[in-house]
Amino acid sequence: MPPLALLVLRESRLRSFCYDAASRSASFGPFCTSLSYMPSPQTMTSDAPVELARFAGFDEAANGVLDYLQAKLGFGLWMVTRTSGDDWVILDARADKYDVSPRDVFRWTDSFCSRMVTGDAPRVAPRSAEIPAYRDAPIGQQMSIGAYIGVPLELRDGRLFGTMCGVDPEPKDDAINAELPLIELLGRLLATIAQIELDAQEEQRVSTIREHESADVAGLVDHRAWISLVEAEEQRSEALASPASIIVVNPEYARRGPAVGAPREVLAQAVAAVVRGNLPRSVAVALLDGSVGLLLPETDAAKATLTIGTLENALRDDGIVAKFSSASRTSSQALRLAAERAFASAAS
């Protein structure tokens, strides 16, 4: 077993916390047998096998990690966060000295964590005022921060999911630097659980789209299925504060090919076929009264713009001209409202 893992196992407070919290947890699949709460201090001294309670998912794992870190290190605020476009969403928090709650939203570029992620400032700052990047961060004008410690939560492909961090209004002793390896380990574990949860959502999403696909046109869904899929995606997005976007494609005309001079509905089918061939199966493609609707999960406004560029090129290669509009789910705009905005823009 790696030395760092042994360090976690030897933390008596973690064992005690996990033993007390065991009654709150439930199964999260085979993987979670390796991410279980620790047994009680009494059973750790015995050679007898012990039964380990398991995390039910990311939210419960984050809850347990923050409880432990607050008890161990005593910072005034611990948070697990999600980055989504310009938003920095608080997924869970332990706040003794700050008015911060889960689902609060801050501007990502204002945060200490944004500077930590880019490497402009260290992961541990016992006296954050001594670090120019932290001293100048706008969030420091909103709350008093004397010390900071944080790590990125990175997904399998290197994308940033969010951060885990702690702040306190008072500066800390340099001894806090020694806690970074443990915090990095816990951060990697949380990122792994987040990836597993996102993978499970992806499988569910693809399965649901297949169930709703039209028998008449392969790979596409109709209006009723579209509404159902948008509602389901909103629920998934809410769970992990995930981004999602709607793109509407309004076909205008075809310069060449069989769709030249065809009715709008036929032209829309030609557009949908090109779009479907250039997007992953997790994207729902719908024929909607002569327009084509796209539901893109885990996609913020910037990524949606890039997707539009790709689709414009693909349609141009097929001799089709179309108008695009888009809108994205944000902390203040539900996915359903984003869809309404995108279709209203397309109609104008």
The string of pLDDT tens digits covering residues 184-238 is: 999 999 999 999 999 999 999 999 999 988 766 678 999 999 999 999 999 999 9
Q: How much is the pLDDT for 28? A: 36
- Using DSSP's 3-state secondary structure scheme, residue 188 falls into helix
Q: How much is the pLDDT for 248? A: 96
Q: Where in the sequence of the chain do the CATH 3.30.70.270 domains occur?
A: 216-347
Answer whether residue 326 shows pLDDT above 80. yes
| Helix, strand, coil percentages, rounded to 5, for the chain | 45, 20, 30
Domain 58-212 fold: Beta-Lactamase (3.30.450)
Interval 278-292 mean pLDDT: 94
Answer whether residue 69 shows pLDDT above 80. yes
pLDDT bin (cut points 50, 70, 90) of residue 261 is: confident
* Residue 118 contacts residue 93 (beta carbons within 8 Å): no
Q: Where in the sequence of the chain do the CATH 3.30.450.40 domains occur?
A: 58-212
Q: How far apart, in whole angstroms, are the C-alpha atoms of residue 194 and residue 272?
A: 32
**CA-closest candidate to residue 69, choices 117, 124, 144, 17:** 17
* Residue 72 contacts residue 13 (beta carbons within 8 Å): yes
Q: Number of helices and strands (H, E) in the chain?
A: 12, 10
Answer whether residue 163 shows pLDDT above 80. yes
* Residue 153 contacts residue 140 (beta carbons within 8 Å): no
Answer whether residue 93 shows pLDDT above 80. yes
Q: What are phi and psi of 164, to 5 degrees?
A: -125, 125
- Using DSSP's 3-state secondary structure scheme, residue 152 falls into strand
Q: How much is the pLDDT for 85? A: 85
Q: What are phi and psi of 129, to 5 degrees?
A: -65, -20
Q: How much is the pLDDT for 55? A: 80
Q: What angle do CA 195, 196, 201 make, to 5 degrees?
A: 95
Strand order in the sheet with 160-168: 105-107, 87-95, 77-84, 160-168, 147-154, 124-125
| Between residues 188 and 35, the one the model is more confident about | 188
Q: How much is the pLDDT for 40? A: 38
Interval 84-109 mean pLDDT: 94
Q: How much is the pLDDT for 50? A: 47
Which CATH number, 3.90.650.10, 3.40.30.10, 3.20.20.70, 3.30.70.270, labels domain 216-347? Answer: 3.30.70.270
Look up the pTM and report it: 0.80
**CA-closest candidate to residue 149, choices 205, 187, 202, 191:** 187
pLDDT bin (cut points 50, 70, 90) of residue 94 is: very high
Answer whether residue 45 shows pLDDT above 50. no
